[in-house]
Structure 1
Amino acid sequence: MTTHQPGLEQSAVDGLLQTVSQYLGHDVAPEWRGAAEAAPRHRFLPDRVWLSGDDEVLAACDRECEPERWFAAAYSDVPVVTQVNDGQEPADLSEALPSSSASVPSIVFRMLELLDLAPGMRVLEIGAGTGYNAALLSHRLGDVNVTTIEIDPAVAELARDALKATGYSPTVVCGDGALGWGAQAPYDRVVATCAVRRVPYAWVEQSRPGGVILTPWCDDWTHCGLLRLTVNDDGTATGRYSADSAFMLMRTQRLGLRLFRDVVMDDHVPAESTTALDPWTVADSPIETQFALGHRLGDLWYAWDHDPGVEGVDTRLWVATADGGSWAAVDWDGNDSADHYTVWQHGPRRLWAEVEAAHRWWLDNGRPGPDRLGLTVTPEGQWAWLDDPSNSWSSG
């Protein structure tokens, strides 16, 4: 099979758009259908990609060796990993971690809809990736109105080449997306294709009043969400979340902590207590629950240890701060009728008490989901809120 046959391309694009329409609940708008047809997704994929198998371990897929599989991946409604380990592919692919990808097409088109674009608008894209999203934007708005920024030089070059080969020439910048790109500001829209745990204020500064910032969200507790902010006249931006997207975290905001290298030390002497709060209630619960807890907890993250090698402990939940300065561990002894759990805590903060308080807050406020939660970004920091910006607390 060859992947450049016009009929095959058109059929593949039509099939993908049908899948996207089913996800959206309506037909893809004509302007975006035209963009997808003019910029077929496979033309933006490198010859070597990485696909997940049944065991969720990434495996390389080379276009030359597996053309059918490669082409099928290009037109499936799934993410396609285009780089691992920041370009340093490990000898053992079990250690391969995605560092750049082609996003899930249904999420791509949903985000394009949420941007609510109009002719003449200027857009800054954070994370060029393959260049596919920039091509869709350029088709709709014109090259002159689209700027895309990519932190990885190799990825930026591949995006630039793919765009040129497909007939598009938006401004492609190699740089730190957290800084935006002031040379083309102000923008009517800023859209990120990577997740952030803090919204860079540069994005607000470089947007027009009334402009929209759309970014995937990733707090330390959960790793999904989509945040849509509107820029206000006073230099702030505020908006709400939805929960159905997951993207790689912006490279300059990666946490980089390892539990037993950076957080839990042999000389720590933790305080012991007990809790009636089931650890699975807060860390293995529906995503809407975890999203609300992460929104409230701010800088806490967790990790499960299902074989801690500790006598009398079947499963342990670890909780730690983003700076690694405090930690807690909650133990389950394997007894299905357990109504109390042993808690160990170390550091200046009592993290499990914070988790318990967040869970009580969630219950007391009617178990809010993402649609009731929002964020306000100011020059001084960002403020999380419930229902209304006036009901807020500091979020970094």
Structure 2
Amino acid sequence: MTTSQALRDALADRLKASGDLDDPAWERAARDVPREVFVPDGFMRVLPGTHPTLYKPVTPACEGWLEGVYDDATLITQLDGHLRAVDVAAPTGGDPTSSSTLPSLVLRMWQQLGVRSGQRVLEIGTGTGYSTALGCHRLGDANVTSVEVDRGNAERAAAALKHLGYAPTLLVGDGLDATVIDGDYDALIATCAVRHVPYGWLDQVGDGGTVLVTLGGWMGAYGLVKLTVTGRGHATGRFLPGTTSFMMARPHSRPPRPPLVLLPGQATTAEWPPVQLDDWTGRWVAQLAAPSAERLGGGEVQVLSDVATGSLAYFGVDGEGRTQVTQRGPIPLWDRVEDALSEWDTAGAPHQSGFGMTITPEAQTVWIGDERGPSWRLPV
């Protein structure tokens, strides 16, 4: 029987080989912290890509459970804000609302944060507590504070951390609300995505400190940005290489929308095909241009639905094979997206690592190249 330690070592070896784990102190944490303590049960997608998606409960009684815990994969731990695998016996539907993020991403982000021994870190989103335990192992309990909005998740994480002898400061509340936090930290790391950076976070991190957070939105586009706090309400930084995504923080999730009705309208030829939104950075650019729009579908069959104004854009193909777009409502969604895609293309169509961000008390702006380049304001 393969032991937990052997599986941990094998995972650490794989992450070293892939370049995701190159700091000896974080490598020791990866080898020492048992992930299964934090993920005693979870859900596995049944036939991924089908609709509606079904999830099969997975527990230690299932064959291959421990090996699955040490796959470099995100493990879903909660559906619909309350449902756990131990609550059901058969595959069930639902929306994932909590998970244990794949270890390579967790460890890569801790390394990208660049914290040193003795520095204090605020973690937004305790989740299962696995990331928190890694932080405690590397920095010491007294230097880690973690806040979790879901009381049930927080209690399970606290029990798992205590079981392993870790004692960070744990808070229950909305981590986006600075009033639940009171401290002076050297760095902040977020394990959820947000549509904009809460200004309260900048108050928690001293001048020169670091904020590492994933910006996301309702089109399902994400970008990991590393910011340096430069004063009260001020920060600046750049987006990092690779692809990073997290579940949206609950207060920043898309609000309920009415049933989608595609009424007929005047169609025009699209200058940019909708398949551009299948590209990682292309979808990111589109989301910057239309931040309240949700994206449904993919390829040539897509709909953009603006949940704030009711505006729509949807696509078809005319008799000559040209992509046609129909736009309805007060905002011409696809016109805005095409303008942004054209500016991105003119700038050389860089990956997100060619983008940066500036925060002032008046606005949060994402730009290409430098602050003089094409830019878009985030919804704050």
Q: Which of 5, 12, 19 is the equivalent residue of 2:7?
A: 12
Partner of 1:326: 311
Deviations 1:326-362 (CA, angstroms, capped at 9, x unpaired): 22222235x6x51241x33222111121122122222
Partner of 1:82: 77
Q: Which runs of 5+ in 2 are unaligned?
A: none
Deviations 1:290-322 (CA, angstroms, capped at 9, x unpaired): 22332344333321289xxxxxxxx64211224
Q: What do you get for the CA RMSD once the two structures are aligned?
A: 2.4
- Over 3 Å counting, the alpha-carbon distance change for 1:372 and 1:297 in structure 2 is farther
Q: How many angstroms does 1:181 deviate by? A: 6.0
Q: Secondary structure at the match of 1:248?
A: coil
- Do residues 31 (structure 1) and 19 (structure 2) align? no
Partner of 1:393: 376
Whether the 8 Å contact between 2:123 and 2:189 is mirrored in structure 1 is: yes
Deviations 1:143-169 (CA, angstroms, capped at 9, x unpaired): 111110000000000000000000101
- Do residues 293 (structure 1) and 286 (structure 2) align? yes
Deviations 1:161-205 (CA, angstroms, capped at 9, x unpaired): 000000101011110010146654211110011111111111111
Distance 1:389 1:358 in 2: 16
Letter in 1 for 2:245: A
Letter in 2 for 1:34: R
TM-score where L is the length of structure 1: 0.86
Distance 2:71 2:323 in 1: 46
Letter in 1 for 2:339: A
Q: How many residue pairs get matched?
A: 370
My pick for the range that moved more, 135-144 or 271-280, is: 271-280
Distance 1:151 1:205 in 2: 20
Partner of 1:142: 140
Partner of 2:253: 254
Q: Which runs of 5+ in 1 are unaligned?
A: 2-6, 307-314
Whether the 8 Å contact between 2:288 and 2:377 is mirrored in structure 1 is: no
Q: Which of 165, 170, 193 is the equivalent residue of 1:195?
A: 193
Distance 1:221 1:96 in 2: 19
Q: Which of 188, 204, 210 is the equivalent residue of 2:202?
A: 204
Distance 2:355 2:245 in 1: 17
Whether the 8 Å contact between 2:183 and 2:204 is mirrored in structure 1 is: yes
Q: Which of 346, 354, 361 is the equivalent residue of 2:336?
A: 354
Partner of 1:377: 359
Distance 1:338 1:209 in 2: 56
Letter in 1 for 2:340: A
Deviations 1:227-257 (CA, angstroms, capped at 9, x unpaired): 1111113531111223411111101110033
My pick for the range that moved more, 384-393 or 202-211, is: 384-393
Partner of 2:59: 62
Distance 2:230 2:74 in 1: 34
Identity over the aligned pairs, expressed in percent? 34
Whether the 8 Å contact between 2:124 and 2:192 is mirrored in structure 1 is: yes
Whether the 8 Å contact between 1:237 and 1:377 is mirrored in structure 2 is: yes
Whether the 8 Å contact between 1:124 and 1:190 is mirrored in structure 2 is: yes
TM-score where L is the length of structure 2: 0.89
Q: Which of 94, 97, 113 is the equivalent residue of 2:95?
A: 97
Q: How many angstroms does 1:223 deviate by? A: 2.9
